[in-house]
Structure 1
Amino acid sequence: MSTRRARIADTGIVSLAAMRIGIGALAWARPDLAARLFGLQSPDGQARYLWRLFGVRDVLVGLGTVSGKGTRRHVWACVGLACDVADGAAGALSRNDVPRAGAAAMVGVPAAAVAFGAWALNRP
């Protein structure tokens, strides 16, 4: 693979991590806004707690990816990919419990991250 393609893949991994950090920080700081962006109702106290659990995980995985180099970045990106697969599966399992727009976001957002992350991780 060309150096240019490898740079594009690495830039994509970093960009995906940056989005993960942004979404995670929003989910931790403003779970009500994060829920609305995902097409869900304003969360109650228990749901705000769960949004913050998701948020801190995404921030830390994103920071690990951005700050890592070489093999370490690859490992953190693989952790992020595994989280995205699990998030998509959780969304699919919960799709009948939320409004249609929320279900689409809960499945579609992680599916897009999985597709792009898998492509980028398969580049040397």
Structure 2
Amino acid sequence: MSGHASVLAMNPVIGLSLGRIAVGAAAVANPQLVAKNLGLDPVSNPQVPYVTRLFGLREVALGLATLTTGGRSRTGVIGIGVLVDAGDAATSYLAMQDGQISRKAGLTLLAPAVGAVASGLLALVRRG
């Protein structure tokens, strides 16, 4: 493993934060493409790019806040991220169950949200 890869593997905070920033920046820069890759249909629902950009800005803000804080402040931001990701997971599940999004889109949205919750919780346990 290279030095950078080993740091990311050992530190879920940095990996999750950088992932948030990358996904968020992509969602802001090209919301139609990101929405389509997440299984959403920006053509039939013209509000999808707007909501995708909101999501992207939130992800960038959470990623930057986590990277630029330390100590108890960072622990608090990680906790907020866990709550946000848990909310994303619940929203994806409910939208899938209600038929608002396809099962494929629901799972595409649900999996990274659950992974982010797990990564955030791991980071909190390691900090504790």
TM-score computed with the length of structure 1 as normaliser: 0.85
Contiguous gaps of at least 5 residues in structure 1 = 1-6
What's the % identity of the aligned pairs? Answer: 33
2: CA distance between counterparts of 1:29 and 1:8?
A: 25
Tell me, in whole angstroms, the C-alpha distance in 2 between the residues paired with 1:118 and 1:21.
Answer: 19
Q: 1:9 to 1:118 in 2, by over 3 A?
A: farther
Asked if 2 retains the 8 angstrom alpha-carbon contact of 1:24 and 1:57, the reply is yes
Contact 1:10 1:120 in 2 (8 A): no
> Could you tell me whether the CA contact under 8 Å between 1:64 and 1:76 is conserved in 2?
yes
The residue number in structure 1 matching 2:76 is 75
What letter matches 1:36 in structure 2? Answer: K
Question: Over the residues paired in the alignment, what is the CA RMSD in angstroms?
Answer: 1.9
Stretches of structure 2 lacking an aligned partner (at least 5 in a row): 1-6
What is aligned with 2:3?
none
1:1-124 matches, cutoff 5 A = 11-43=11-43, 44-95=45-96, 96-124=99-127
The offset of 1:9, in angstroms, is 8.6
- Is residue 35–residue 48 contact of structure 2 (8 Å, CA) maintained in 1? no
Q: RCO higher in 1 or 2 (8 Å CA, sep ≥ 6)?
A: 1
Aligned positions, number: 118
Whether the aligned pair in 1 keeps the contact of 2:9 and 2:15 (CA below 8 Å) is no
The offset of 1:29, in angstroms, is 1.4
Question: Offset of 1:56 from its aligned partner?
Answer: 0.7
Q: Compute the TM-score of the two structures, normalised by the length of structure 2.
A: 0.82
Deviation track 1:69-120 (CA, whole Å, cap 9, x = no partner) reads 1222211111111110111111011012222221101211101111121122
Letter in 2 for 1:115: A
Work out the CA distance in 2 between the residues paired with 1:9 and 1:68: 20
